[in-house]
Amino acid sequence: MKLIFVSGKYQGKTINETFENIIKARAAAYKLWQQGYAVICPHMNSAFMDGESMGATCQMFYDGDIEILGRCDAIYMLKDWKESTGARAEYQQAIELRLEVLFE
């Protein structure tokens, strides 16, 4: 079973936009599970864990996601991935690691 990482826009201009981005990523993850992949969906892994009360920074999550990506076989780029600094960095890392890249 291949391990695949879902990559796309997380942060929105509003909390509702962020929620919608999480739901889009979740739907993609669900579809990929149905196709036989083992799926890492960072949107769900750290949903709404950002903010001062958490004590974690965005950079901590970016660094962690890159670490997780390095253990995957493939990356799945959501349609909006180019709008996200984090997703663009994940894409570049996937290319450097020679991972299989799939697009929504």
Full pLDDT tens readout for the chain, 104 residues: 999 999 999 888 998 999 999 999 999 999 999 999 999 999 987 766 665 555 566 777 788 899 999 999 999 999 999 999 999 999 999 999 999 999 99
The pLDDT of residue 64 is 86
Residue 97, SS3?
coil
Reference 94, options 79, 78, 73, 64; nearest CA is 73
- Mind listing the domains of the chain with CATH numbers? 3-103 (3.40.50.10400)
Q: SS3 sequence, 15-75? A: HHHHHHHHHHHHHHHHHHHHCCCEEECHHHHCCCCCCHHHCCCHHHHHHHHHHHHCCCCEE
The pLDDT of residue 56 is 60
The pLDDT of residue 88 is 95
Prediction pTM value = 0.90
The pLDDT of residue 46 is 73
Strands 3-7 and 74-77: parallel
Reference 43, options 71, 80, 73; nearest CA is 80
The pLDDT of residue 11 is 86
